[in-house]
Homo-oligomer: A and B are copies of this chain.
């Protein structure tokens, strides 16, 4: 006799067990929801909830009519949590500091124009440093579209970072992120207090609110920085 699986977490655990134990091997078609429900002694909605969760984790492929199959090559999905830099620093138990380096209205260089699709508009350009315990932590290079961030031109950003202000005052509907590595230029090395040519972790992020570009920011982290995530 099988124990009854009364809640969706229990069903999920049993499904995961069968996958890991290869009772359901990669590529296999598993029983449909109705059959599993009667086997597990619960409602179909409960099985659905469990299978949906496992599918979202990438271990199952579900298709109407075709049924549910164990994923052949489970694509690992790591979820990065990207918080405000001040939070990130303080969560590491360090004292946060901030300094504005530059604030101007400028026509951005071609790559920025292309990424934001803002043609030849003049954007607010902010360069700033974030510190952890007095040491440079990250160098922020940001372009803000005043059209997409009402009120931004009234902000001096001398004590509060654009990073923080935008998150609280400017909604966005979509965005993308790119992570990469790059060598520190002489200027960047000076700002970050490292050697020129040092390997830096870079995060570039664009956000939009509907069709209108809000901001593009490139964060260069001091050498040794790493981002963690769980699978």
Contacts and interface: CB of A to CB of B under 8 A. Distances in A.
B20 A228 contact: no
B80 A80 contact: yes
Nearest to A184: B199
A213 to B, nearest CB: 14
A159 interface: no
Given A167-B73, A183-B199, A231-B207, A177 B78 contact: yes
Contact of A77 (B79, B183, B221): B79
Nearest to A167: B73
A202 B198 CA distance: 14
A174 B231 contact: yes
A75 interface: yes
B228 A202 contact: no
A189 to B, nearest CB: 12
Contacts of A207: 231
B167 A181 contact: no
Contacts of A84: 73
Contact of A181 (B175, B201, B229): B201
Given A76-B82, A77-B81, A77-B82, A230 B177 contact: yes
A40 to B, nearest CB: 20
Given A16-B173, A19-B171, A177-B228, 13 more contacts: A20-B209, A22-B171, A73-B83, A73-B84, A73-B167, A79-B79, A172-B231, A174-B231, A175-B230, A176-B230, A180-B201, A181-B225, A197-B197
A66 interface: no
Copies per complex?
2
Given A183-B198, A231-B176, A231-B207, A74 B226 contact: no
Interface of A: 16, 19-20, 22, 26, 72-84, 87, 167-168, 171-183, 197-202, 205, 207, 209, 221, 223-231
Contacts of A181: 180-182, 199-202, 221, 223, 225
Interface centre among A76, A82, A182 (most CB of B within 10 A): A76
Contacts of A82: 75-78
